[in-house]
Every structure is written in C-alpha cells, then in structure tokens.
Amino acid sequence: MPNNKTNLDVIIQIKQKEWLDEMATKHSLPDASKALRVLIDYAIEEGPENEIFNYVRCRYCY
C-alpha cells in the first residue's frame, strides 16, 4: 500500500488512548496510531455502518 497517510489531530479520552496503546502492544503493532488505523479499516471494510453509528455506546456522555 502506498504511503498516502496524513496527520489528524484527534481528541480522545485518556482511557481510550491507554486502550489503543495496549492493543498496539498486544498485537505487535508499532504504535497506537496503527491500532486506530486498523480499527478504521475494519469499520470501512467489515463494519455495518448503521450498527456503528446508530447505536449509542459513549462511555463518557452520561
């Protein structure tokens, strides 16, 4: 895959960053950024859009 990456500033909760770090380590990924890209790629290819965006699962909204 060509290197067509771009930078993106994202604000996430500390626990979310810690989880991404844990997943990167657990799955031998270089960093949390790669873990996030894996999740995004999964959502694009496999994730049912309605299930991803129509179900409220925010742990911090309530």
Cα distance between residue 56 and residue 50, in whole Å: 11
pLDDT at residue 55, rounded to an integer: 79
pTM of the model: 0.80
Whole-Å CA distances, 54 to 20, 27, 36, 50, 57 = 23, 29, 20, 5, 9
Domain ranges within the chain, ordered by starting residue: 15-53
CA terminus-to-terminus distance, the chain: 40
pLDDT at residue 1, rounded to an integer: 54
pLDDT at residue 53, rounded to an integer: 83
Tokens 């859009």 label which residue? 49
Six token digits for residue 51: 């299930």
Mean pLDDT by 10 residues, the chain (62 residues): 84 95 98 96 89 78 62
